[in-house]
Amino acid sequence: MIIQWFPGHMAKAKRQMEESLKRVDSLIYVLDARAPHSCINPEFDNLVSAKPVLYVLNKSDLVERGAIAAWESFFAAKGMRTIAVSSTIGKDSGKVISALSKLNKEKIERNRAKGVNYAVKAMVIGMPNTGKSTLINALCKGKRTVTGDRPGVTKGEQWVRLDNGISLLDTPGTLSHSMKSEVAGLHLAFIGSVRDAVVDTTELSLELIKFFLRKYPQKIAERYQIELSADPLAVLERIAKKRGLILRGGEPDLDKAAVALLDDFRKCRLGKIILETPDEY
């Protein structure tokens, strides 16, 4: 299944980010902890090469701690500064501010030596639906940006000033013109970085079932109380029947079952799941 989605506002957003780069000191790059590698966008290569970057593994509470630790070690070996935060962030907001201050320590100290109390400016970037605006709202201790559980909510840049003087530039989630791989495209679609409206959700759910049958077969069996099959279509039919999603004539409603499955995965009802591990790259 090939995933492609790059609407016009993303191309505009990318140009805006490049223009705004000279106005910021560093970048906060938000990654979904369930698919960290897939969330690294080649479109941002020129941004991350120009400024110091803090990589934030967001939604880390949706993944087992050991899996997060493996990615932290992987990124650290590449010289990438990384911290993990939960999907609600809240208690982790101080950790983000501390890491951002350390990232910009030299510039802060240079200005302090000149008698200037310098306030850091950082641009927040990432794929759609990785939680950029939610992160900013948590750092602000209140909702100051528009958020949503679907990609494409943030349409333009928004500056937000924190109580400690730090300024953050929120940017729209941006995908790549072409996915790094078919697997990366699927992973981004699974976590909701690609609008469901532009993909065949039934076909996408079958791909998700294939993944579960390879990696977490019992998660499906336990959640839906069904007998597993090597055939993803048969599994989806059983989920539909178990949920009472039946069409007239008694046929299982695969479309509704697909939506239910994707929603269960995204909301962690199937348990803590990671889609990719460092040893795959």
What single string gives the DSSP state of each residue in the chain?
-------HHHHHHHHHHHHHGGG-SEEEEEEETTSTTTT--GGGHHHHTTS-EEEEEETGGGS-HHHHHHHHHHHHHTT-EEEE--SS-GGGHHHHHHHHHHHTHHHHHHHHHTT--PPPEEEEEESTTSSHHHHHHHHHTS--S---SSTT---S-EEEE-TTS-EEEE------SS-S-HHHHHHHHHTTSS-GGGS-HHHHHHHHHHHHHHH-HHHHHHHHT----S-HHHHHHHHHHHHT-B-TTS-B-HHHHHHHHHHHHHTTTT-S--S--GGG-
Could you tell me if 65 and 27 are in contact, meaning their C-beta atoms sit under 8 angstroms apart? no
Tokens read off for 146: 């528009």
Domains of the chain: 8-170 (3.40.50.300), 200-280 (1.10.1580.10)
* Dihedral Cα 62, 88, 176, 206, nearest 10 deg: 40
pLDDT per residue of the chain (281 residues) written in tens, 0 to 9: 766 655 556 778 888 898 999 999 999 999 999 999 999 999 899 899 999 999 999 999 999 999 999 999 999 999 999 999 997 777 888 899 999 999 998 888 888 888 888 889 999 999 999 999 889 888 887 656 444 444 444 445 788 888 778 899 999 888 887 777 899 999 999 999 998 988 999 999 999 999 999 999 999 999 999 999 999 999 999 999 999 999 999 999 999 999 999 999 999 999 999 999 999 98
Q: Give the max Cα distance, the chain.
A: 78
The answer to pTM > 0.85 is yes
**CA–CA separation, 58 and 99 (whole Å):** 14
